[in-house]
Structure 1
């Protein structure tokens, strides 16, 4: 009885210690990096304009323009990129589907050879390939995963990619603009809020990396702050030169 309990405890401990992070990032990575992109780009844009000693209204218009332009650009680029990738995958799937229909034996032998190359005994590899090839759709799915590295039933959606990119970028770009929309007349509240947002985004990114949350947050805050500082100095320089 004690042995059984010990084995059960070990199995449970193994499950607890064997949980992996989401190495693909899932939805978290693109959403957080989209927000981070919006934060850094709009903060840098606004500080660059503010460095030229312009008025509050000009900074607000610049921030709104940067938000809109960046969000629509991100959405359009993401839609085109994902749609093109999806079309390419679907074209390759059509090729594989035709091959399975015209040369089923060759495709089954190809699958058996693949399993053999991974250490499966030849007879067992052929038996597995033969059984899996009985269903055409299942055969297509397996060949797509093994040869193309894709899952035909889980292709990315261009619309979802575009909407999520638009929303995350717009949310990030809104953060440095928010103090001005609420009546702030100085630049420092916008910078402070944006830096806190960058720290938060960096800390969230730590969920899909091996870094600690404070290191990831500080790193992103320092990089974003450096970008804002450089653009402010350039804006100040250009403003003085043009003035």
Structure 2
């Protein structure tokens, strides 16, 4: 009988852990969901995943492998914490990706073993897609709210945080190493590092401010034009709305009735057309351009300060080595954070990030050396 940490193939533990994590996260989403019908569906998904995990564990025991159900992984617990803080929309997106991966693996395994495909392999993907996209089947208004959550700040903010810190760290580490290679690694490196930090952070902040502000202004203009069209050509907009409903699979007669009912309230009709015709999520208009700019500035600066810190109190190769040590730790932690999106091993992701970052530093240090020698000569 084998223990869980000495199984002949790690795919058993990975598969079992995936099922346990999915059950845990579905249950947490259900607990946070305000709509009983939707919460019930997530809770049922959790029960199904738990049943899958139990059956998998039982099958392994029948094959002579002693294994008990593991607790939720650190990744699942971090995702739950993110859901509590930023909303569970991002977590639902992660689960969607997980379900797609599981479906692809099941289909590949069946094809390899010449087992007929039943069509049930993608059931969980279909259920999640229905929850996120199919407004006509389950409490349409509530589904729209869930879809909005899925697109809101949670996942994008998390990715932006990780990528912003990574940009700051890699770009400034490369700059610092380049200047250190060309000089005696003294005060000039500190000056260059702080200049790189401020220049990069200000550039990121300005870019984010312009991006958010221009998007908001564009959406506001489109929404104003849509309201003008409703006021000047209500019949045309009613037919347009009916066509949108028909495209969603609603019978023509019912679609025209729904469109007429919606157009009876101008504000409601405008809200529907903005979402359905223009594809605008009004939640995106509530974001602050200044908040986005300040956040980008801070995230870039956090990453960019790491390779500079040793040059505040040291010079020469001692400062260079310490700078590389600080940067290596930062790169590894960023790699660990990236596993929240990819599900890869923290060691694989962390060391990959370190390898790429240090390679960039080595290249710029070498170029700096060549330039320094050329100038000295």
With the shorter chain as reference, the TM-score category is 0.7 to 0.9
Match of 1:166 among 297, 302, 309: 297
Q: Considering only aligned residues, what root-mean-square deviation do their CA atoms show, in Å?
A: 2.4
Q: Deviations over 1:164-193 (max 9, x none)?
A: 110100111011112222446420111121
Does the residue aligned with 2:92 lie in a helix, a strand or coil?
coil
Q: Structure 1 pair 107/14, CA: closer, same or farther in 2 (3 Å)?
A: same
Consecutive unaligned residues of structure 2, counting only runs of 5 or more, are 1-39, 50-90, 95-149
Q: Structure 1 pair 53/11, CA: closer, same or farther in 2 (3 Å)?
A: closer
Partner of 2:43: 12
Match of 2:368 among 221, 235, 240: 235
Give runs of aligned pairs for residues 49-198 of structure 1, distance below 5 A. 49-155=179-285, 156-183=287-314, 185-198=318-331
Partner of 2:130: none
Give the alignment's TM-score, normalised by structure 1: 0.87
Partner of 1:3: none
- Residue 177 of structure 2 corresponds to residue 47 of structure 1: yes
Q: Structure 1 pair 131/78, CA: closer, same or farther in 2 (3 Å)?
A: same
Q: Structure 1 pair 147/54, CA: closer, same or farther in 2 (3 Å)?
A: farther
2: distance between equivalents of 1:59 and 1:161? 30
Q: Deviations over 1:95-119 (max 9, x none)?
A: 1110111112211211111111121
Q: Structure 1 pair 11/229, CA: closer, same or farther in 2 (3 Å)?
A: closer
Contact 1:47 1:187 in 2 (8 A): yes
CA-CA distance at 1:157 after TM superposition:
2.5
Consecutive unaligned residues of structure 1, counting only runs of 5 or more, are 1-8
2: distance between equivalents of 1:90 and 1:14? 39
- Residue 349 of structure 2 corresponds to residue 223 of structure 1: no
Q: Structure 1 pair 67/140, CA: closer, same or farther in 2 (3 Å)?
A: same
Kindly indicate whether structure 1 or structure 2 has the higher relative contact order, using CA contacts under 8 Å at least 6 residues apart: 1
1: distance between equivalents of 2:272 and 2:333? 40
Contact 2:179 2:185 in 1 (8 A): no
Contact 2:310 2:323 in 1 (8 A): yes
Partner of 1:28: 158
Q: Compare 112-121 and 217-226 and name the one that shifted more.
A: 217-226
CA-CA distance at 1:132 after TM superposition:
2.9
1: distance between equivalents of 2:297 and 2:321? 26
Give the alignment's TM-score, normalised by structure 2: 0.58
Contact 2:306 2:327 in 1 (8 A): yes
- Residue 334 of structure 2 corresponds to residue 201 of structure 1: yes
1: distance between equivalents of 2:332 and 2:264? 53
2: distance between equivalents of 1:106 and 1:31? 44
Contact 1:71 1:169 in 2 (8 A): yes
CA-CA distance at 1:10 after TM superposition:
9.1
